[in-house]
Amino acid sequence: MAKILINDGIHPAGRQKLIDAGHDVHDTKIAQEDLMTQLQSFDAICVRSATKVREDLISACPNLKIVGRGGVGLDNIDVEFAKSKDIKVINTPAASSRSVAELAFAHMLSLSRFLYKSNRHMPRDGDSEFKALKKSFSKGVELGGKTLGLIGIGRIGQETAKIALSMGMNVVVVDPFVENATLSMEVAGHPIKHDIKTVPMDTMLSEADFISLHIPFTGSPVLSTSEFSKMKDGVMIVNASRGGTIDELALLEAINSGKVSAAGLDVFENEPSPRKEILAHPNISLTPHIGASTGEAQEKIGLELADQIIELLG
């Protein structure tokens, strides 16, 4: 029996699976400043993004064998240091892919038909300005036939590409680590495979009507002033990956100039305190980093994390 701390929450199905496997599961959150002393008796800790597992914490906890991250990113964990101490670091990269992809498309649909603007204006002015609002929001576009540029063709990028193809969009992909990708999907019970060959960044920027990012943050933005200058006029951009992958000041300049007609953002450079200029901008659709926050994704994350922990603990 291992002693496991679930510090940032887990779906009840995952918690129960760990208990059924005979483990001692604790899910009362321990404050970050108290972990140094209270984590020492635990064999494993499961976190999301709130709890930080840094070198000092790892060094203070000699019994620790597993650090589990419920989600994709590992930037709140000092992974290499943990591995140097023979601690297994695990995450759940596949569990939330569909949820994030669907949110990216929710933003695209919102942008293309002005839903984000309409939902701001209709409650306030719908009874008095109905005809004016109808005229203002009647210049939307269909996604079918448009080109979606994807930055990243990992699990989430692939799910986003599948939705795009099912909606009749063309898909062009940039990924320096992938030359070809094969998408496997099912439509009305019929299996379909679609091959995608990646293209250079400049090619994608010149062709895309919509651009969606599905990459980790690697220390600097992948879209900044230079990249915006190479895009089509009126392009729409969605970011449901990580804050910092887009230079937000350059994005604001591109929107204000009309180069980018609108953007949908689920992630921000300064989370949890995004720039006021971003939050208040009339041409930006906003969500508070909820890409993986569906019931289905949380259950998958909990079960996948539990399965990995049970296997590693034997």
Q: Which of 121, 275, 289, 299 does the annotation list as catalytic?
A: 289
Looking at residue 49, its pLDDT comes to 87
Check if 289 is active-site: yes
Q: Which of 227, 242, 269, 304 does the annotation list as catalytic?
A: 242
User: Would 3-94+295-313 and 97-286 be classified into the same CATH topology?
Assistant: yes
Looking at residue 314, its pLDDT comes to 82
Q: Which of 55, 271, 296, 311 does the annotation list as catalytic?
A: 271
Check if 69 is active-site: no
- C-alpha distances in Å from residue 70, one per residue of 12, 64, 87, 276: 13, 17, 17, 29
**Cβ density class 6-40: b for 16+ within 10 Å, e for less:** bbbbbbeebbebbeebebebeeeebeeeebeeebe
Check if 271 is active-site: yes
Looking at residue 9, its pLDDT comes to 94
Q: Tell me the fold of 97-286.
A: Rossmann fold (3.40.50)
Looking at the domain covering 3-94+295-313, what would its CATH class be? alpha beta
Q: How far apart are the first and last CA of the chain?
A: 10
Say which residue the tokens 């019931």 belong to.
295
Do 70 and 48 form a contact (C-beta atoms < 8 A)? yes
Amino acid at 100: V
Domain locations in the chain as residue ranges: 3-94+295-313, 97-286
pTM, full prediction: 0.89
Q: CA-to-CA distance for 311 and 305, rounded, in angstroms? A: 10
Q: CA-to-CA distance for 77 and 46, rounded, in angstroms? A: 11
Ranges of the chain with pLDDT below 70: none
